[in-house]
């Protein structure tokens, strides 16, 4: 829980009535190994100087400049041209289409990673139709997984198996059946649940006869927006092919509104987002499915954790929250099996299989259709 606790210097903030609006120069105080020097708005570059008397010793590098880029293409070109020395982008793996730019560049060694992160499609549990398991299963069968995987991973892309535990984490099962598209089955599921086209306009209505239109919220951020928009277009086309009208959630046009919808109110219907690789492990993957009481960082909306996982979940979450994840072989097997069952019932995973890129799409209890390394 320390992630959500912040320590502020009393001598600065005790007399500030509106912290969000305060712009004094002393707001940049910190305890890190570098001190802030200046910021150039035009070039989006900030400059820092090493703290000579830092408690862990003086850093090896005296000065650091941090430059922001609007797109991955611009960032990669800057690296290729020697304008920058290193790249760091938390929770935003490079687009598959730009990696090739660095191939053959003498000053750049292209590395690989087994699972740098997970794209995911999450279903909200606060409104229909996304809280209806028949609808979620229909979406699972409607999607073109090979196209989604290649959109994210390029030629490294490969359709993943079921479940929500990502490789190379403990509990991952490489022998899970691969996800597959079956639009006929998707249509049958919708028909059986009462989603039918009553007015013969090519689109289905809700079981109560009201119009059916699903809003898709995408993760906010300029760098990865092109990928999310391409995934949305695939999702939109596939669902329209089975008679489900889909629109892009246009109300989320800044980071504050995105955070409010996905992490505070959690009132989205379908959400195309991203989960860091470490969360898709046996001891934390359920955070993407079940909404933990307070301060949760994942956009999960399902509430009844005991109904979903039983005592296995309760033991696991207690150990995870207290940092004592000491599962025995048998209890870990049960825990992972519970996660896999939840994944099969509520979640879907799509993945690049080559160990050069790792991503997910999830569709399950909060819901997960996961795009990740197979």
The upper half-sphere exposure of residue 247, i.e. CA atoms within 13 Å in the direction of its Cβ, equals 7
200: left (phi over 0), alpha (psi -120 to 50) or beta: left
Q: Locate the domains of the chain by residue range.
A: 118-371
What was the pLDDT predicted at 338? Answer: 56
Three-state secondary-structure class, residue 232: helix
What was the pLDDT predicted at 82? Answer: 87
Helix locations, 109-182, DSSP H = 133-142, 145-153
Cα dist. 134→44, 65, 308 in Å? 48, 52, 17
CA angle 285, 288, 292 (to 5 degrees): 100
Q: Give me the tens of pLDDT residue by residue for the chain, a chain 374 residues long.
A: 345 567 788 888 888 988 888 888 788 777 889 999 999 999 999 999 999 999 999 899 999 999 988 888 888 899 889 898 888 776 666 777 777 788 888 888 776 666 656 677 888 888 889 888 899 889 989 999 889 888 887 777 777 777 666 666 666 667 777 788 999 999 999 999 999 999 999 999 999 999 999 999 998 876 778 888 999 999 999 999 999 999 999 888 888 888 888 878 888 899 888 776 666 665 666 666 666 544 455 566 666 555 444 544 444 444 444 444 444 445 555 555 555 555 444 444 443 332 222 222 333 333 445 444 33
- Residues of 71-80 as b/e, b for ≥16 C-beta within 10 angstroms? ebbebbbebb
213-218 vs 245-248, strand pairing mode = parallel
What was the pLDDT predicted at 59? Answer: 92
What was the pLDDT predicted at 289? Answer: 63
The residues near 201 (Cβ < 8 Å, ≥ 6 apart) are none
What was the pLDDT predicted at 374? Answer: 33
How far, in Å, CA of 364 to CA of 130, rounded? Answer: 10
What was the pLDDT predicted at 122? Answer: 82
The residues near 109 (Cβ < 8 Å, ≥ 6 apart) are none
The residues near 81 (Cβ < 8 Å, ≥ 6 apart) are none
Count of C-beta atoms within a 10 Å radius of residue 31: 9
What was the pLDDT predicted at 364? Answer: 32
What was the pLDDT predicted at 248? Answer: 96
Three-state secondary-structure class, residue 318: helix
How far, in Å, CA of 73 to CA of 95, rounded? Answer: 8
Strands, sheet with 118-123, edge to edge from the N-terminal-most edge strand: 157-158, 347-352, 368-371, 118-123, 270-275, 213-218, 245-248
> Looking at the domain covering 118-371, what would its CATH class be?
alpha beta
CB-CB contact of 94 with 72 (8 Å): yes
What pTM, to 2 d.p., does this model score?
Answer: 0.74
How far, in Å, CA of 211 to CA of 214, rounded? Answer: 10
What was the pLDDT predicted at 304? Answer: 58
């Amino acid at each position: 829980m320390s992630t959500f606790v912040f320590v502020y210097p009393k001598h600065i903030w005790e007399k500030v009535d509106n912290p969000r609006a305060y712009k004094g120069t002393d707001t940049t105080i910190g305890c890190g190994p570098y001190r802030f020097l200046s910021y150039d708005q035009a070039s989006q570059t900030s400059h820092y100087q090493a703290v000579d008397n830092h408690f862990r010793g003086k850093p090896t590098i005296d000065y650091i400049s941090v430059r922001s880029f609007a797109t991955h293409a611009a960032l990669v070109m800057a690296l290729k041209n020697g304008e920058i020395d290193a790249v760091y982008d938390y929770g935003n793996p490079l687009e598959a289409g730009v990696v090739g730019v660095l191939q053959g560049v003498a000053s750049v060694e292209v590395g690989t990673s087994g699972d740098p992160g997970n794209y995911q499609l999450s279903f909200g549990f606060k409104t229909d139709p996304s809280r209806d398991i028949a609808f979620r299963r229909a979406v699972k069968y409607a999607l073109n997984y090979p196209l989604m995987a290649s959109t994210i991973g390029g030629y490294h892309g490969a359709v993943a198996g079921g479940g929500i535990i990502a490789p190379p984490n403990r509990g991952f099962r490489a022998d899970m059946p691969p996800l597959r598209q079956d639009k006929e089955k998707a249509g049958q599921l919708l028909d059986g649940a009462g989603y039918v086209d009553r007015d013969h306009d090519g689109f289905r209505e809700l079981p109560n006869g009201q119009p059916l239109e699903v809003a898709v919220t995408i993760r906010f951020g300029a760098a990865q927006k092109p990928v999310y928009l391409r995934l949305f277009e695939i999702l939109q086309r596939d669902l329209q092919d089975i008679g489900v009208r889909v629109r892009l959630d246009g109300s989320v046009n800044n980071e504050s509104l995105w955070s409010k919808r996905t992490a505070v109110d959690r009132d989205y219907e379908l959400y195309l987002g991203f989960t860091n690789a470490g969360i898709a492990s046996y001891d934390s993957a359920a955070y993407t499915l079940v909404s933990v009481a307070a301060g949760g960082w994942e956009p999960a909306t399902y509430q009844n954790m005991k109904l979903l996982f039983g005592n296995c979940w309760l033991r696991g979450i207690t150990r995870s929250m207290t940092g004592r994840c000491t599962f025995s072989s048998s209890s870990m097997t049960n825990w992972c099996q519970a996660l896999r069952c939840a994944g099969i019932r509520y979640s879907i995973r799509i993945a690049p299989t080559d160990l050069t890129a790792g991503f997910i799409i999830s569709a399950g209890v909060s819901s997960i259709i996961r795009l990740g390394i197979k």
